Amino acid sequence: MPLIPVLCPYCGAGCRLGLRVEDGQAVGVEYLTDHPVAQGALCPKGNVAPEIIHHPDRLHRPLVRENGRFREADWDEALDRVARALSRVRQEHGPNALGFLASAKATNEENYLFQKMARLLGTNNVDHCARLCHAPSVVGLSRALGSGAMTNPIPDLAESRCILIVGSNFAENHPVVSRWVWEAKDRGAFVVVADPRYTPTAHMADLYLPLRSGTDVALLNGMAAAVLREGLADYAFIAARTEGLDELRAVLEEYSLERTAAITGLPPGDILRAARAYARSPASAIVYCMGVTQHTVGTDNVLACANLALLCGQVGRPGAGIFPLRGQNNVQGASDMGALAELLPGYVPVASEEGRRLLARLWGREDLPDAPGLSVVELMEAALEGRVRAMVVMGENPVVSDPATGDTVRALEGLEFLVVQDLFLTETARLAHVVLPAACWAEKAGSYTNTERRVQWSPKALEPPGEARPDLDIIGELGRRLGLWERAPGPEEVLTEINRAVPAYGGITPRRLIGASEGIFWPCPDLAHPGTPILHRERFNTPSGRGRFFPVAHRPPPEAPDARFPLWMTTGRVVVHYNSGSLSRRLPELAAYAPGVWVAVHPQDAERLGIRDGETVRVRSLRGEVEARVQVSEQVRPGLVFLPFHFPGVNALTLKELDRDARIPSYKVAACTLERVAAPAGEG
């Protein structure tokens, strides 16, 4: 029975699993103990990954909408309809009337060709879900360190002697990371977890900091200020490798322990203890996720993390670095490939004449657009206003994942033309004019870049069902019909072009990558280069070669509880589900553990509101409402409720206000209220 080592399609850890194939069917998985990150371990989602391959809901043929209903069509008809519609909208309204949503679940090659298609059509209106999760990491870490990515490999956490975890619940969201943190603890590491919820990750903390939602900058500034007052800064590192300390020092003078405690709700002694542990450790790591980034101050939060690391010299060494954990299997790669509205492949600004000139030579076009395009949320706003008339969505489900999703539905319903490429008839695909059936990860070959910058090749293990095709084939055929290239390229051919377009991938060639069982870390500029597991060992990738301090100040969230909406609301993931749930909600093995929306409520709030565990309530905000089953839990602070965002309706409650730099919306703080809609079980 063949065993084919494919990459897991879920989180950004980049685990590899052995797919057992018999008679053209996936019949199970085996654990690959030689994988450097997972070492054979898989989370609940990875264990049942094959179940999605042969799911009865898979799309087998293209669908076109006529008279309000879908009918099956052949590929020629479907692609011709798409090409005609995009060409018509471009001709009548201009290229910026087109919008493109790329996919963090698609391969590097697919994302590269997708953004290339958008730009050859004359628009930079191409974006993807990194905008909704880690855009502040791209912006903030690029400013401070010169590279908007994780600095060290995941297993390097075992070398840390202090691990500061802020806004990350990796025990549920990236479970294989936990093994390396537990190994560090076994070696004596001190673990600090800062989170408004007492999550499963907080169980491993030596010091738990239940800060108020939206006060991360205050906490990190307070810790940095304490480091300076206590004389714990690494002044040799600062002098040799950084710039801008005086400006930072001036801002930090305002963050006494007492003021920091008043903002965060934490005891002053715990803030000081965390600062001392982080600064005194010979190797300290900062691990963060969307609890840091999904705010209107997400970029400030990331810069505050970088300031603390630079202040203490905790970067550029084994066990010392900054670990932003990416949520999807290729969100890092999609960003690297240029699926961002303001950045070309390799994070070159679209306004860069030199960057556009390089691509113009490579692509054979001289008129590439130079103005930043619209981000995910901005695309929907433009559609509501009639400025964007047609949209191509590849493997994304914005009807569930966007903020204030009621507006997203209205935006998509109002388009002249919407085409969706996906495995299933998702909530978004149901609004499309044409739906194109896509192959899943096991049914195509290509490369993926995980959260630690490890580029890995995943081979094709199976044939797609029916007439489904890989996204690369769909994009290639559509581009050919649009006159953008002469033929649809294969994944190895596209990766060879990426080698020329993205300097950090210069040495990650198809031949070399396919034979690299552990993958290759970028930057890898040429064939002689081994790859770079740890960034910033000797210099930072900034113009001066130095890390840069960027002072930031605490700013309160854009919305706060009031008499009408008296509770704070936050959202996040749970272990059995994945993002919009279009995959995990279809699997009984996973859905049984979390079949529907639930809301965690502190016992004090439950008693005050007269609600009980297990009953149904309506959660309302200024933007929408959703019904949820109550879980009375001390894992949330009094005054705070938590909902998992994997279900339709939850993100209808969230804010659309954007971070001014990264243009990410604020998912993590909103004001809400709870209303009873059903009596508890047993009561009439």
- Mind listing the pLDDT tens digit for each residue in 201-214? 999 999 999 999 99
Q: What are phi and psi of 562, to 5 degrees?
A: -145, -170
Three-state DSSP state, 114: helix
* pTM assigned to the model: 0.95
Q: Which two tokens stand for residue 572?
A: 């996040």
Q: What are phi and psi of 393, to 5 degrees?
A: -120, 120
Q: Are 163 and 206 in contact (CB under 8 A)?
A: no
Write the DSSP string, 26-85. EEEEEE-TT-TTTTT---HHHHTGGGGTT-TT---S-EEEETTEEEE--HHHHHHHHHHH
Q: Which of 44-48, 66-70, 119-123, 183-187 has the lowest mean pLDDT?
A: 44-48
How many whole angstroms separate alpha carbon 531 and alpha carbon 511?
15
Residue 224: what pLDDT?
Answer: 98
Confidence of residue 684 (pLDDT cuts 50, 70, 90): very low
- Mind listing the pLDDT tens digit for each residue in 167-177? 999 998 899 99
Q: How far is CA 279 from CA 242, 482, 541, in A?
A: 17, 57, 24
- Mind listing the pLDDT tens digit for each residue in 359-378? 999 999 888 999 999 999 99
Which among 418, 356, 395 has a CA at the least distance from the CA of 119?
356
Q: Are 682 and 305 in contact (CB under 8 A)?
A: no
Average pLDDT of the chain, as a whole number: 94
The DSSP H or E segment spanning 119 is helix 108-120
Which among 192, 214, 213 has a CA at the least distance from the CA of 308?
192
Q: Are 272 and 650 in contact (CB under 8 A)?
A: no
Kind of pairing between the strands at 16-22 and 25-31: antiparallel
Confidence of residue 678 (pLDDT cuts 50, 70, 90): low
Confidence of residue 103 (pLDDT cuts 50, 70, 90): very high
Dihedral over Cα of 552, 169, 18, 47: its sign: negative
Confidence of residue 96 (pLDDT cuts 50, 70, 90): very high
CB environment 375-407: b (16+ within 10 A), e (fewer): bbbbbbbbbbeebbbbbbbbbbbbbbbbbbbbb
How many whole angstroms separate alpha carbon 348 and alpha carbon 18?
37
What's the whole-number mean pLDDT along residues 633-651? 89
Residue 173: what pLDDT?
Answer: 87
What's the whole-number mean pLDDT along residues 214-221? 97
Residue 382: what pLDDT?
Answer: 97
The DSSP H or E segment spanning 493 is helix 491-501
Supply the angle between the helices 298-311 and 245-252 in degrees, to the nearest 10.
Answer: 110
